[in-house]
A and B are shown apart, each in its own frame.
Chain A
Amino acid sequence: MASTEKITVYNVADLRATTDDALLNYLNSLGLIQSHTLLDTRLALGFSAFLLSAACFAWDYKFGFESTKQYTLVAVALYTLLNGALTYWIMFVERGTIYAGSTKDGKTKIRVISDSKKPKTKGEAPVYKLRIDVEDVKTKKTQKIELERKFSEWFDANGRFVAAPFQTVLAQGVPLVGKLDPKRAVAAAPASGGQGLTKEQFAETPGYTAEILDAIASGLGESSTTATDQGAGKKRRK
């Protein structure tokens, strides 16, 4: 259940990165089809800017400044435009999107933007903020969902990620995910003021074996008995 890699629970960036990765793996495991258009556009903008400056470097190096300065002027202007477009894309189009995808039938689109917030009072766990847009492709209607949950709900004290409670948060908070993963949607009680889900809460839930419960409680479980957990252990870094 838990990933084998441990992180430092005091490092909010690490908490968020690990959770982001788990979220991608979870959504993909539910049969959603991830779209990479946003990131690919960013890569295209960034690399064309880089190639332009590499070309500029090459002609400057080979032919000197005086004979090429007209081209350099054009290259500088173009580079500024490309970089401006890239900044615009990152700030106003991607806006921190970590997942964009659609259902297999293509009728619904989903987009997830994540952020993290440091706690206001000392000693409390930092908060994971999710903004999820679910769009019906036909009617163009967008359902906007915002979730704010403490990282401590799905990280144990040792810094291991525990998939089940995190997936439950998503399945209960987002109807589309709940529909794709009904088992998680009915699991456990709904959010209770940001408290972590206790072993007792899980015990009331059908579909959990004692073995899984122990694994969740200890945060050390290695067995993967449910399909939804298959990717949770894989780590990805941005």
Chain B
Amino acid sequence: MLSALANPRQAAVQLMNFGLILSTAFMMWKGLSVISDSPSPIVVVLSGSMEPAFQRGDLLFLWNRNFVAETSVGEVVVYNVKGKDIPIVHRIVRKFGKGPEAKLLTKGDNNVSDDTELYASGQDYLVRKDIIGSVFAYIPFVGYVTILLSEHPWLKTVMLGLMGLVVVLQRE
């Protein structure tokens, strides 16, 4: 099986096939990103703070363009807190003002209080550009795989290794 290495062209074809699998997955992700205008168009719910609407492991699809109406109260949005890299899925409960500078307050449906404590120190509200998208569709539970992967990092190595092995060994 490893005799592919004897022929540079065949080795190049196999390398290319493996590379194209990775790059196609990446470019599909980026395609979704530019269409939805969101840096992260698909996210997985990590906490139970939005129950019963969303459970841990739900896969959410985001849309970050305002063609018809502004993002407003009642929408479930995903936002990034300044300085922290964890996106949070919560609902907008208050909105003051209009346009890109409107002040937004969010809260998890299952939380007792609003999100002011979650925001960065000195930050009392969100503005439109903090939001990376509104939830417009979801698939329950399928994202649980990624929770498993992030909680047990060695699974990633195992998965990547298996994928690589299959591609290298297969001729068809």
B39 and A17: CB pair below 8 A?
no
List B residues 23-67 near A (Cβ within 8 Å). Answer: 23-24, 26-27, 30-31, 33-34, 37, 39
Contacts A76-B27, A237-B10 given; indicate if A65 touches B171 (C-beta within 8 A). Answer: no
Q: Which of B1-9, B71-79, B88-96, B117-125 contacts A (4 or more CB under 8 A)?
A: B1-9
B171 and A237: CB pair below 8 A?
yes
Q: List 26 A-B contacts (CB under 8 A).
A: A13-B171, A36-B9, A42-B13, A46-B20, A47-B16, A49-B20, A49-B23, A50-B19, A52-B23, A53-B26, A54-B23, A56-B27, A65-B39, A69-B33, A72-B30, A72-B34, A73-B34, A79-B27, A234-B6, A235-B6, A236-B3, A236-B6, A237-B3, A238-B10, A238-B13, A238-B14
Q: Is B159 close to A, CB under 8 A?
A: no
Q: Is B151 close to A, CB under 8 A?
A: no
How far apart are the CA atoms of A66 and B14 in the complex, in Å? 34
Q: Report the nearest A residue to B3, measured CB to CB.
A: A235
Shortest Cβ gap from A2 to chain B (Å): 17
Residues in chain A within 8 A of chain B (CB atoms) = 13, 17, 36, 39-40, 42-43, 46-47, 49-50, 52-54, 56-57, 60, 64-66, 69, 72-73, 75-76, 79-80, 83, 234-238
Q: Report the nearest B residue to A57, measured CB to CB.
A: B26
Partner of A39, one of B9, B14, B20: B9
Residues in chain B within 8 A of chain A (CB atoms) = 1, 3-4, 6-7, 9-10, 12-14, 16-17, 19-20, 23-24, 26-27, 30-31, 33-34, 37, 39, 171-172
Shortest Cβ gap from A74 to chain B (Å): 9
How far apart are the CA atoms of A192 and B1 in the complex, in Å? 34
* B residues near A43, Cβ cutoff 8 Å: 9, 12-13, 16
How far apart are the CA atoms of A51 and B80 in the complex, in Å? 31
A83 and B24: CB pair below 8 A?
yes
Shortest Cβ gap from A61 to chain B (Å): 11
Q: Which 7 A-B pairs have the closest CB atoms?
A: A65-B39, A53-B23, A46-B16, A237-B4, A50-B19, A73-B34, A76-B31
Contacts A43-B9, A236-B4 given; indicate if A56 touches B30 (C-beta within 8 A). Answer: yes
B10 and A236: CB pair below 8 A?
yes
B10 and A60: CB pair below 8 A?
no
Partner of B39, one of A47, A54, A66: A66
Partner of A238, one of B20, B23, B37, B171: B171
* B residues near A54, Cβ cutoff 8 Å: 23
Shortest Cβ gap from B137 to chain A (Å): 21
How far apart are the CA atoms of A43 and B54 in the complex, in Å? 45
- Knowing that A43-B16, A53-B27, A80-B31 are A-B contacts, what are 15 other residue pairs whose CB atoms are under 8 Å apart, sorted by A's residue number? A17-B171, A36-B9, A43-B13, A46-B17, A46-B19, A50-B16, A50-B23, A54-B23, A64-B39, A65-B39, A69-B34, A76-B27, A79-B23, A238-B10, A238-B14
How far apart are the CA atoms of A40 and B13 in the complex, in Å? 9
Partner of A76, one of B3, B10, B12, B34: B34
How far apart are the CA atoms of A238 and B17 in the complex, in Å? 11
